[in-house]
Every structure is written in C-alpha cells, then in structure tokens.
Amino acid sequence: MGTKQKKIAIISRESDSKTLDVSMLEEELLRRGCRVKVLSKLLTKEKSIKALGYIGHVAKQQAAIMASDVVVLDTYCIPASMIPHGKGTRIVQIWHALGAVKKFGWQTVGREGGSSEKVARLMRMHRGYDYVVSPSDITAEYFCEAFDTDKDKVAKYGLPRIDYIKSVASGERQADMERRILSQYPQLAGTDRKTMLYAPTFRRGRSVDLQSLIGALDPAKYDLVVKLHPLYRAGNTGPEEASSAGSGQLDVIYDETFSSYDWLSAADIIISDYSSLVIETTLTDKPLFIYAYDLEEYSENTGLNMDFYSEPIAPYVFKDAASLAACIDKTCGKTGADGQGYDMEALHAFRDRYIDIDTDNCTAALAEFIISLA
C-alpha cells in the first residue's frame, strides 16, 4: 500500500497574490510530494469593515482547514482561531515578518491601531496555534506575548525569504537581479554615486516624511530608491505626498516593480525604521541605518519591542536627517572625513541576536518540520 499523500493548506491575508514566503514554501512542499492548497486574499483592519465579500473566502478557508493535515498561517485567520478543527489537524503560525521590531497582536490590545480587549477575546485572536515559528530566542519572547501563547509551542526555524535574501544579495540570483534592475533604471549604472534603498514601515493614517531625508542627501554622492509599504498602495492612508517630494534636489526612484528584497542586489546602503527589514537586511553584509524621526510618537502609539539605543547598531540610529546623512558620508563615502568605515562587527552582533538559527536552506528545514506534523 502506498504512502498517504500529506495535505497542507497555506492561508494568507497579506496579499491577493502569493507572497514570497508562501510561493517558496508551496514549491518546496510540492517538490516533496505533498498536496498543497493555497488561499491568498488581502484583508486589513480598514478593509474588513466593508469586506462582506470576504465572508465567502472565510468559508473556503474553513473548508481547507478541515481537509488538511497541517495548516500554515502568516497572520490571524478567523476560522483557524474561532472554529474548532479536527484533532489531527495541526496549525502552524509562521508570521509574515522575520522579527517583531514593533508590537502587534496581544501586545497592542487597547493601544492605538490595536484591538480592544473585548474584540480580541470575542474573535479569539491568535488562538488555536499548535506551533509558532521564530528565528531566535529573543523574537520567541515577543511572539509569545503577541500570540499570548507558551514557549513550548515555539519552533525555531527561519522563513523562506532568508534563502531568497542571501541568494539575491550575494548568491546565484545576485547578478541577474542587478542586471534586471539596471535595465529598468539605467541611470543607476556607470556612476560613482552609491545606490541607497529607503524602505520605511507603514504608519497608520500618516504618510512618510521623505522631504527631510531627500533634502539632507548630497545628489552628487547618492541615488535614492524609495520602497513604500504595500499598505500605502492599498489605499490605507491619506493621499501619498512622497511622489512630488524632492523636485530639483535629488533624483529619487519610487519603485513599484521590484521588491525590497530584490533591491538588496543593487543597493549599497539600506535605510529603514521599525520594519522587520532592519533584521532581514543584516543577512546582506551591507551598511544598515535606522531613520527613526518619529521614534517617541511611534513608540507611544504603536509600541516597540526593540530599544534601538541598546542594540549593537545604536551608532547608526538617527532621529534627524542631517545627522543620518553626515554619518553615511563619514562611514560609507569613498573618503570619509576621518577614514572611519561602517562597523560590520556591530551589524553581525545585531543579526546574531535576532537570527540565531542555521540560515542554510531555511525553506527545506521549514518544509521538513511541517511535513513531520502531518
């Protein structure tokens, strides 16, 4: 008698199309002979109020859960938490970020942008998980708080995106991805200017202050690529003012063709803030800077798990654009004022705190773990 085919469901509400992690995990599970059902449909808090059409999708989610041996989630899923599932079905939460720089889930109950405790309990927020995937012990602590779960449910694995980031930044995909980017943006090729990637996180109800950063950078030294959070493009804030910023100052590329991870092939310098990208880009060995111009406000309203000034990369955390630009000139310029370069040992120490797993072939390791539960 042949071996029973293992049935895996992957449910995401991060996008209407398959995310990078979902696509890579699905491919690996299929390669290993599993039957895989993927359900991807964007649902945000703003959208859910009027998303009556999502009810039908929830029914599809429940059907997939009931028919599967293992269900993989990357965010809160209504039927997975609210509706009892078969005793033999395992629910694995991999989350959609490689860390928890900002607070979320049960950490934000009662805060701006978070749910009320009444709603969180009514919706059984983040209940029913058998395992929660985390890339480090420190992140596991934050995940246990956010999911209101015990440490014995933590499984230490990386996300498939780790494989992709390493491949794009310095592996087999690097040359081809850089070629594709330079073909799209030829102004970045054949110049002494350094390419700077700025990928700020989503600020609920507020646009990103790009003007200060653009005004502080020397257009003779840098090209700036801006990657706004997908939720801005999904219309979950007011009119985006960034597209008109910087006229006559710095040549800025507002890219919507490539992902932030793709840009790691061509970027020389990375700037972000409260996004998990600050953890993910440590895998590239490229200078990372944190531009936290609204640190107090963001920390008060949303909440942060990470105290930037207590981290190894504290010297590269800035609240004002002028100081940030001066540090970039000093540490990343061809001839810094005092010859000081970027402290890669500090970057590596920061990385090792938040990614303390084996990062070789994370997709395969995660797939093997999921299959072992079926």
DSSP string of 41-89, one letter each residue: ----HHHHTT-TTHHHHHHHHHHHHHT-SEEEESS--HHHHHS---TT-
Same structural domain, 196 and 97: no
Pairing of strands 131-134, 154-156: parallel
Tokens standing for residue 71 = 């269900």
In a domain, 336, yes or no: yes
How many whole angstroms separate alpha carbon 203 and alpha carbon 139?
A: 22
In a domain, 195, yes or no: yes
Same structural domain, 239 and 133: no
How many whole angstroms separate alpha carbon 267 and alpha carbon 258?
A: 12
Tokens 């200017």 — which residue? 193
In a domain, 165, yes or no: no
How many whole angstroms separate alpha carbon 11 and alpha carbon 17?
A: 11
CATH number of the domain at 134, please.
3.40.50.11820
How many whole angstroms separate alpha carbon 315 and alpha carbon 318?
A: 8
In a domain, 153, yes or no: yes
Same structural domain, 368 and 258: no
Residue 201: DSSP 8-state: P
Same structural domain, 218 and 328: yes
Closest listed residue to residue 319, CA positions, set 347, 298, 340: 298
How many whole angstroms separate alpha carbon 368 and alpha carbon 115?
A: 35
How many whole angstroms separate alpha carbon 121 and alpha carbon 48?
A: 18
In a domain, 163, yes or no: no
Same structural domain, 174 and 300: yes
Same structural domain, 204 and 287: yes
Same structural domain, 182 and 279: yes
CATH number of the domain at 184, please.
3.40.50.12580
Q: What does each of the 374 residues of the chain score in pLDDT, given as a tens digit?
A: 456 899 999 999 999 999 999 999 999 999 999 999 999 998 876 555 456 667 888 999 999 999 999 999 999 999 999 998 888 999 999 999 999 999 999 999 988 778 899 999 999 999 999 999 999 999 999 999 999 999 999 999 999 999 999 999 999 999 999 999 999 999 999 999 999 999 999 887 777 889 999 999 999 999 999 998 766 554 444 334 444 344 446 889 999 999 999 999 999 999 999 999 999 999 999 999 999 999 999 999 899 999 999 999 999 999 999 999 999 999 997 544 444 699 999 999 999 999 999 999 999 999 999 999 99
Same structural domain, 176 and 102: no
What range does the domain containing 309 cover?
170-354
Structural domains in the chain (count): 2
How many whole angstroms separate alpha carbon 347 and alpha carbon 330?
A: 17
Same structural domain, 276 and 366: no
Residue 236 backbone class (left: φ over 0; alpha: ψ -120 to 50; beta: rest)? alpha
How many whole angstroms separate alpha carbon 267 and alpha carbon 288?
A: 11
